[in-house]
Amino acid sequence: MWKDMITFPRLGIGTYRVWNRDFFYYKKYLMVSIFWSFTDPLLYILAFGYGLGFFVGAINGIPYILFLAPAILCTTGMQGAVFESTYSSFTKLRVQKTYETIMMTPVTVEDVVAGEILWGASKAFFAVLGVMAVFVAMRMVHGFQAWLVLPVLFIVCWCMSAMAMVVTSFAKDYDSFTYFFSLIITPMSLLAGTYFPLEHFPKWAQTAAWVLPLTHGVVIVRSLFLSRWHSSLWINFALLFLMAILFSNWAINQTRRRLIY
């Protein structure tokens, strides 16, 4: 049981076909979607980075806007992946019955769910690239390590897409997602060391934060973005990667039960 949960999901040609189907539809609105995806993060940078940053000054010797920028990249990936793999995926699962239609072809449940998770991660990553482009234009990206955040951010997108797909596999209606966003996503976006250092939170909040995948993503991305990589971050990377695999397999297994049994 547990061995299956920590095994990397099998990605076949069917996975690519499901992903390509979603991309074929999305590319009609690619530029508009990317524009709106990084507009919100840009407002955060302006409001918090420059506005609040004026009063905060520096955190551990780091200008607040540079402290905030990596977190904006992570939360952009999180929000894009979560929205795509909840409301959009639920519509295809329950309303349009898209998954059942796809499974009439030589495509398995594993292919469908893996393809949907991969698509949710990809769509979110497109938005992350848009935000990164803005940061480059603002001359906030310096050094080779700063560019290494991109593969890490894709894993963040993958992990959040898989987590959201787990919730979708259990959801009974659209209202079910209200609890997910209110009880998990919003607290995670605030407690993961995004806007302020974790050590400023109470001990119980710090402990809870380390259970959240976004925390590990923010820690790694911030260290790379600021060219402060150290070997202990491999632990955060391993935990983030393991969470992505666990959520992916959980989503595949639960969706299989829902569609077949």
pLDDT average, residue stretch 33-57: 75
Question: What is the per-residue pLDDT for 114?
Answer: 93
Tens of pLDDT, residue by residue over 111-144, are 999 999 999 999 999 989 888 988 888 888 888 8
Element at 59 (helix H, strand E): strand 58-59
Rounded Cα–Cα distance for residues 3 and 230 (Å): 30
d(CA 39, CA 56): 24
Q: Model pTM?
A: 0.91
Is 5 strand, coil or helix?
Answer: helix
pLDDT of residue 75: 93
Burial class (CB within 10 angstroms; exposed 0-12, middle 13-18, buried 19+) of 201: middle
**DSSP-assigned letter for residue 58:** E
Q: How far is CA 253 from CA 11, 117, 139, 165, 261, in A?
A: 15, 13, 45, 11, 11
pLDDT (tens digit, 9 = 90+) per residue, 238-261? 999 999 999 999 999 898 888 776
Q: Which helix (H) or strand (E) holds 62?
A: strand 62-63
Weakest mean pLDDT among 148-152, 225-229, 255-259: 255-259
Q: Read off the tokens for 195.
A: 């806007």
Report d(CA 66, CA 145) in Å as an integer. 14
Residue type, 18: V
CA separation for the pair 101, 96 (Å, rounded) = 9
The yes-or-no verdict on residue 103 having pLDDT over 80 is yes
HSE of 39, CA atoms in CB hemisphere, 13 A:
6
| Cβ-contact 161, 120 below 8 angstroms | yes
Q: What is the mean pLDDT of residues 169-196?
A: 91
- Strand 62-63 relative to strand 58-59, pairing: antiparallel
Q: Give CA–CA dist 73/44, Å, rounded.
A: 11
Instruction: Read off the pLDDT of residues 74-83 as tens digits, 9 standing for 90 and up.
Output: 999 999 999 9
Q: For 205-217, write each residue's pLDDT tens digit.
A: 889 899 999 999 9
